[in-house]
């Protein structure tokens, strides 16, 4: 049916920030609220897909019917996605995943002693890259790109390097879009279609646009 274009398919979505612990009371995190990914999970579910949301720390929740797996760190988010990815056809990575984590986590609260404190950070696994590299021809992998400069070039580079089918690029230059906001303004990059620039709109409306584009591409290929 037209109202449920993704009936019979399943999807996994990441949303929110990750928190990388430094000691029992502190972490490295970012400003993601989770709203963008949550609205995409809701839209995929509304379109008929059986949807799993892997959600970093936030107070926001998805609609009833979306199965939510709550995680804290990038490694936990990776493990949850890697577990469900083989049995899904659609993967949308909207989380703001920490690229690095502290090399060691102090067992006790770090005391204020020295004037300069140095940390060593190690790379986290890249969830989007894992999905892109392991996808089969019936799987669709969609990534986001949050850029501050040379946006189109960086987004195109992510599309290629991460072997994604679609990159949704939002820019920190656009006021009232991106992190925390109720609205977003994006340009969508695909390997075989010109960039599609969408106007500023609510994250709910944007989520519907993204999901209809995914459904369109899946049906074109079928
Ligand atoms: O949560 P909101 O407040 O609603 O804000 C939405 C948002 C701005 C967080 C969202 O629209 C967004 O842009 N998410 C991606 C943010 C980001 O970290 O972008 P990036 O350019 O650093 O990462 C590129 C892509 O790789 C993303 O799909 C990201 O989820 C993925 N990634 C990155 C690192 C990593 N270790 N694993 C990943 O999967």
Residue 48 Cα, ligand 1 centroid: separation in angstroms?
25
Q: What pLDDT band is residue 221 in, cutting at 50, 70 and 90?
A: confident
> Which domains are present in the chain?
10-107+118-221 (3.40.50.10300)
Taking the CA of residue 31 as reference, the ligand 1 atom at the shortest distance is 3
58 is written with which tokens? 């936030």
pLDDT, tens digit (0-9, with 9 covering 90-100), for 120-148: 999 999 999 999 999 999 999 999 999 99
pLDDT at 1 over 60: no
Whether the CB of 38 sits within 6 Å of ligand 1:
no
42 is catalytic: no
Mean pLDDT of the chain: 96
pLDDT, tens digit (0-9, with 9 covering 90-100), for 136-190: 999 999 999 999 999 999 999 999 999 999 999 999 898 889 898 999 999 999 9
Whether the CB of 145 sits within 6 Å of ligand 1:
yes
Binding-site members for CTP are 99, 109, 125-128, 144, 158, 162
């Amino acid at each position: 049916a037209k109202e449920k274009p993704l009936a019979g398919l399943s999807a996994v979505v990441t949303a929110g920030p990750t928190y990388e612990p430094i000691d029992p009371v502190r972490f490295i995190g970012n400003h993601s609220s989770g709203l963008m990914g949550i609205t995409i999970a809701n839209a995929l579910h509304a379109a008929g897909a059986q949807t799993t949301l892997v959600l970093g720390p936030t107070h926001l929740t998805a609609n009833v019917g979306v199965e939510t797996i709550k995680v804290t760190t990038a490694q936990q988010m990776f493990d949850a996605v890697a577990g469900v990815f083989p049995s899904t056809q659609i993967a949308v990575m909207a989380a703001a995943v920490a690229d690095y984590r502290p090399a060691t986590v102090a067992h006790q609260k770090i005391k204020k002693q020295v004037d300069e404190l140095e940390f060593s950070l190690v790379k986290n696994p890249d969830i989007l890259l894992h999905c892109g590299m392991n996808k089969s021809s019936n799987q669709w992998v969609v990534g986001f790109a949050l850029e501050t400069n040379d946006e189109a070039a960086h987004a195109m580079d992510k599309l290629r390097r991460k072997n994604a089918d679609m990159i949704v690029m939002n820019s920190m230059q656009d006021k009232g879009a991106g992190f925390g906001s109720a609205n977003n303004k994006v340009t969508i990059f695909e390997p075989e279609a010109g960039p599609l620039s969408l106007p500023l709109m609510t994250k709910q409306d944007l989520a519907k646009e993204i999901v209809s584009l995914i459904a369109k591409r899946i049906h074109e290929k079928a």
